[in-house]
Amino acid sequence: MVNKTTDDEAVAVLTVAQFLVRYHMSNSTFYQLLKAGQGPRLMRVGSKKILILKTDAQRWERQMSGASETDAA
């Protein structure tokens, strides 16, 4: 029997809405970052659904943290 869990960590993808909540970001800031080439990598499913792999979100977070540390130096 497979143990089904609703634990957030068990899900390997985030919706854009979940990403925005997780990183305390507005919709407009998210799309401005994407336009500037600084957003996370997106995965399109079908013609409308957009998902972000958690590994891509974590990579984006590390890149943004590195950029802010470089800016502060």
* Chunked mean pLDDT (size 10), the chain, 73 residues: 55 94 97 97 94 96 81 58
End-to-end CA distance of the chain: 53
Candidates 38, 39, 13, 16; CA nearest to 27 is 16
| 35: number of Cβ within 10 Å | 9
For position 72, what pLDDT does the model report?
58
In eight-state DSSP terms, residue 9 is G
Domain-wise residue ranges, the chain:
12-72
Tokens in use for 43? 């995965």
Whole-angstrom distance, CA of residue 26 vs CA of residue 52 = 16
What pTM did the predictor assign?
A: 0.76
Q: Answer whether 45's CB lies under 8 Å from 12's CB.
A: no
